[in-house]
Amino acid sequence: MKRIILFTVTFMCLFFISACSEDSNSSSNADEKEVKEFLSQYKSYQYTIENPKNPPTADKIGEK
């Protein structure tokens, strides 16, 4: 029984170490930059007030 538990714990540790390795993180850096750029553009569009005399309501901002 102890061997099964030890094998399971060892396998899980190796799995987590390989999942969090440097190689997997470096490939997602380009995607992260694209996501940040998209969110920046989206938020600037969402919160741009076209007519300062008549600001949009929270519902209109949510619909954008």
Question: Does the model's pTM come out above 0.85?
Answer: no
| 46's tokens | 């969402």
Q: Express each pLDDT in 16-26 by its tens digit.
A: 887 776 555 55
Average pLDDT over residues 49-57: 78
CA distance 64 to 48: 10
Choice between 61 and 45, residue whose per-residue pLDDT is larger? 45
| Max CA distance (Å), the chain | 73
pLDDT of residue 22: 59
